Structure 1
Amino acid sequence: MSLDIQKIRGLFPVLHQEVHGKPLIYFDNAATTQKPQSVLDALTKYYEHDNSNIHRGAHALADRATRYYEDTREAVREFIKARESAEIIFTKGTTESINLVAQSFGRKFIGKDDEIIISTMEHHSNIVPWQMLCEEKGAVLKIIPINEAGEILFEEFEKLLSKKTKLVSIVHASNALGTINPVKKIIDAAHAVGAKVLLDGAQSTSHLEIDVQALDCDFLAFSAHKLYGPTGLGVLYGKRELLEAMPPFLGGGEMIKEVTFEKTTYNDIPFKFEAGTPNIADVIAFKASLDFFKSIGKPAMKAHEDSLLAYANEQLKDIKGFIPVGTASDKVSVLSFNINGMHPFDVGQMLDAKGIAVRTGHHCTQPLMKRFGIEGTVRASFGVYNTKSEIDKLTEGVAQLARLKNK
């Protein structure tokens, strides 16, 4: 199916501007995606017509806000094909979702000398919470190595697994390299030794079809703002039996059934993990971004993004001094690279002067950069509204910069 990219671009007001006197070319989608007008309208509508706290009100605005809020929960359930909407918990983002699992599941079910496995390519948010937990509990953190292409060494992962393994927490698609990990194989191998599996889906959910029941993952964490949705909003999916066995993460309103000074009883899931007034407006607006996915179809979106990545690789590969970083055979639309002799930050600033927005640095993956012996990379990441003509501009810019240093 061929997409009408110009029509899609017309849905995103922010794209139609100039930066430093040049038309904006936005290639920073792995950091955050732009928002269609429908998401902006949903935010405005909530504040203009429906603004109220949810679940406890006895008036019309509260009823409407509650209904719209829970409609989004059901839309998320459908988006990741969870069994029931009670398995969907709203958080501040992927980072909080992972921390919730670390603080709740980890504190209850992981003890001294137990083992947690992560990979070399993890984002800091899928490293630091487990280091903190291991330090507190006396558990052991083990790391799956990767090859030069940026792919995990599955045989080495299998060697790390044992009856001591209590959790495997793995990124589904790398934010720094684009690598898509073989998560179904990882999940099956982990379950064979009795371990649970958390998937960091921050990058994968915007590009890949997700079916948590078919994958059989125990937890999935992701963020709305990488899905053409609002910032400050995340999702944690967890299997009902695990969520019910886990203690609350935060205490306060909504997560209780009854409070006395002697004892508090906790609410049912998902409310047990949603203490206090939630991010109501952004949750409601998030449904508009999920509707945006549904209107186009994720397979068609992925096909377009894959074609952009292939085109960029082909255009850039023969530039003298261009150094790709992360050349896995299976990737989402993330292109990381360096220019020989130039610091990534300098490259980013010079591209910005041409109106091209890329991300530079270590991308919150410092151990991964150390593995490759580099400080960081330039990262161009493509979304559904990007075009090959924009990639041509990127190619021109990179070629020009490379000539300066690689004559």
Structure 2
Amino acid sequence: MNGVRGILLSFFINTINYILPKLERKVVFIGYPEYDDMLRGLILQSNVLCKDLYILVKNQSIGKPNWLSNRCYIVNKNSIAGIYHLVTSRRIYFTHGILNGFKPLIQEKQLVINLWHGMPLKKIGYMDNKSNFPQFHYTLATSPFFSEIIQEAFGVSADKVIISDLPRNTILKSKIFSQVLEDISRNGRRIVVWLPTYRTSKVGDIRSDSSCTSLLGIEGIDLLKLNIELNNQGVELFIKPHPMAKFNENEMDTMSNIRIINERWLTDSDLTLYQLLSYSSALITDYSSVFIDYLSLERPIVFVMSDVKEYESRRGFSFDLNLEGVPGKVISNSVDFEVQLTNAINEPSNYRKCSKKYYSSSVLSDLIKIK
């Protein structure tokens, strides 16, 4: 029954989308998380400020961030109002999807741009045996290397992939003032951010890509020892689990030098993730595309990859991820983890290893000028 309802709803939405006129001033953004740095970076493009921006969200419990102007309207994605704004908008930007079954019109009538949520290290789209991903007119790639991968993943031609920096990297490279982070830096402490990807997801595409159950992607870490070592090094570690990750909320407690954060903490602190990253002196991650963006800062990157073989066999990578060629120290076990980690974040950046291959465009295309 749900399948029939879904088909009928898609037919109805696509029909009224075809019939209703589009408002040139109206722009719709759909992201995940709702107040993503792709949105914030897009807003910083001056021409967007001349538009009426409607942000379609699923979760309205998180308050409207202070960095959104009065001309940015928050609307429930699945409401009648949300559908109305979607089908009357001249431009639609999204990072994950729009609505199931939504079919874009010709771009002269309604332009749809897929900002996506980073360059694909992991297999996506057709490469991941998926075919139900959203349709669009244009998408972005940070280099010709990733353009070819995106063409294959989404089944589009090269002229549909714009070689450009990503909107969120505007935030990464701007270092927008934050009183919370300034206070930490003023006390002589360094900020390091750990962004592990999910192994088992709880929302969206439900899957299990590794048997590792730790939200950090590595078992057996003594967090008390790590906290002591971080304190000795004058480092404050922010760990933000992937928003799709399934894990026990009580698995880790915030300590003196380790903070576990989420989207609500960022909003309450008047921050976004890439603003936090802009203040960081090093990044810790694994199979997340965030490391591609972080290359632009030319700062140390540490890769915690204890399950790389299993992850590759279950999920797969979009290209040959040669661990010897990644731009940073690789940690593959928890033996003396605290020593391995603190040594790694103090090593000089190794960004030149692959920066041009993965990140060759530092110029953000004016996405508003695309007709």
TM over 0.5: no
TM range (shorter): 0.3 to 0.5
Q: Which has the higher contact order (CA 8 A, sep 6+)?
A: 1
Please identify the structure whose Cα radius of gyration is greater. 1
Greater helix share, structure number: 1
With the length of structure 1 as denominator, give the TM-score of the two structures.
Answer: 0.32
With the length of structure 2 as denominator, give the TM-score of the two structures.
Answer: 0.34
